[in-house]
């Protein structure tokens, strides 16, 4: 088989990354440092095998040239049309977004499954059945991290402040097992004593509701403005507390984290396997994460590398615990995290593991197409 006769086309998680912007390391700076690095890496890895990689909008309209392998990173607007083309293999669909943020995508996955050869998720079919409508056959993958080692200069930074949280002012579509509210409660508690600094986007405005919806953009904009007007008369205590702790947008997430000893590190929701970049961003900078999210987190990450919020009755108890830690005890958390990042156990979260998935599916599907 000559793999040079195959091409991979990736439908990115958002239209903002079309036109091959998915492979531009400078894109999505608002989301974190080098957030696109895993896609840059997989494109380079496949190029070394003679397999060109582009975003799906650059796929030729006519069925000529190399065989085309199509992978969607959460978009379901094109797969039925592409399924009609003999030169295109609908290789894989990756459920990238959180179920409570994009429930429409999960409802559509059951309809899409017969068209795709593989469905990937961070969680499993049983845990997602309430969102997909039935238990689907899902392959596991881990959210790929942009870095493979700690940022040494930032990791060794001294003179750190106490506590930070970096999150934008957002709301989910659904509220089942959500942690958006818990972030606000945590910030509200620690803001009373001035012990927390909040960074992110849009805290000066009403919260932005995430996810796709049938409601037109204009109506959603009016609804947000209406909430803003209403809050002027009936301020939300949690939002007011967050604004009192707000310090700006955080131009560099890594640099900002490195100025603090602890970070509130809550996922968007409690869901098996749902482990994003938040925990690892702290590991890379030597900041001790206070984690709440995946109930199976200890199967993936050493328990002594983070502080588990589930072990505390409330934020008052958490605060007492954090203040009681000695420098040596804090150092143990940091060293455990650094050892994990440099160990083989971190590999499932690496850029290389992410690229390996794409290498394998391209190889398998082109082989099948040529039999």
How confident is the model over 20-44, as a mean pLDDT? 84
Question: What are the structure tokens assigned to 75, written together?
Answer: 């978009």
Q: Which residues pair with 93 in a beta bridge?
A: 72, 119
Spatial CA neighbour of 141 closest among 291, 258, 38, 293:
38
Q: How much is the mean pLDDT over the chain?
A: 91
Residue 30, pLDDT > 60, answer no
Residue 34: the pLDDT is 86
Number of residues in the chain: 371
Greater confidence (345 vs 205) lies with: 345
Cα–Cα dist 306/282, whole Å: 9
How confident is the model over 262-275, as a mean pLDDT? 97
- The answer to whether 284 and 258 have CB atoms below 8 angstroms apart is no
Greater confidence (237 vs 143) lies with: 143
Block residue for tokens 């919260």: 207
pLDDT band (50, 70, 90) for residue 2: very low
- The model's pLDDT over 336-366, given as tens digits with 9 standing for 90+, comes to 999 999 999 999 999 999 999 999 999 999 8
Q: How many CB atoms lie within 10 A of CB 190?
A: 25
Q: Angle 77-24-147 (CA atoms, 0-180°, nearest 5)?
A: 105
Q: How many CB atoms lie within 10 A of CB 280?
A: 22
The pTM of this model reads 0.90
> DSSP string spanning 183-207?
HHHHHHHHHTTT-EEEE-S-TTSPP
- The model's pLDDT over 223-232, given as tens digits with 9 standing for 90+, comes to 666 666 656 6
How confident is the model over 182-195, as a mean pLDDT? 97
Cα–Cα dist 52/5, whole Å: 9
If 0-12 CB within 10 Å is exposed, 13-18 middle and 19+ buried, where does residue 353 land?
A: middle
Element (H or E) spanning 107, and its range?
helix 103-112
Residue 8: the pLDDT is 96
Share of the chain above pLDDT 90, in %: 79
Cα–Cα dist 116/118, whole Å: 5
């Amino acid at each position: 088989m000559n793999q040079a006769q195959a091409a991979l086309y990736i439908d990115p998680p958002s239209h903002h990354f079309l036109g091959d912007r998915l492979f531009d390391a400078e894109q999505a700076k608002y989301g974190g440092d080098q957030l696109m690095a895993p896609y840059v890496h997989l494109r380079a890895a496949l190029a070394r095998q003679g397999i060109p990689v582009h975003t799906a909008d650059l796929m030729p309209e006519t069925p000529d040239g190399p065989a085309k392998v199509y992978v969607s990173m959460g978009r379901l607007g094109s797969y039925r049309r592409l399924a009609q083309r003999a030169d295109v293999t609908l290789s894989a669909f990756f459920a990238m977004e959180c179920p409570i943020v994009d429930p429409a995508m999960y409802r559509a996955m059951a309809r899409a499954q017969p068209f795709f050869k593989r469905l990937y998720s961070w969680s499993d079919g049983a845990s997602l059945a309430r969102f997909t409508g039935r238990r689907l056959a899902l392959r596991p993958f881990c959210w790929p991290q942009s870095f493979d080692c700690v940022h040494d200069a930032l990791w060794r930074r001294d003179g750190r402040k106490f506590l930070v949280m970096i999150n934008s002012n957002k709301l989910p579509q659904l509220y089942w097992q959500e942690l958006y509210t818990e972030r606000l409660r945590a910030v509200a508690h620690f803001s009373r004593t001035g012990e927390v600094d909040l960074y992110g986007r849009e805290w000066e405005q009403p919260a932005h509701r995430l996810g796709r919806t049938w409601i037109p953009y204009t109506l959603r904009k009016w609804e947000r403005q209406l909430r803003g007007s209403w809050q002027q008369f009936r301020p939300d205590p949690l939002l007011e507390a967050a604004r009192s702790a707000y310090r700006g947008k955080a131009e560099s997430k890594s640099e900002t984290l490195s100025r603090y000893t602890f970070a509130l590190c809550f996922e968007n929701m409690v869901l098996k396997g749902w482990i994003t970049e938040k925990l690892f961003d702290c590991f890379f900078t030597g900041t001790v994460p206070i984690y709440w999210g995946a109930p199976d987190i200890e199967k993936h990450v050493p328990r002594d590398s983070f502080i588990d919020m589930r072990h505390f009755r409330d934020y008052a108890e958490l605060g007492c615990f954090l203040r009681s830690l000695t420098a040596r005890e804090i150092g143990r958390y940091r060293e455990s995290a650094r050892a994990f990042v440099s160990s083989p156990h971190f590999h499932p979260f690496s850029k290389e593991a992410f690229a390996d998935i794409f290498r394998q599916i391209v190889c398998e599907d082109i082989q099948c197409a040529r039999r």
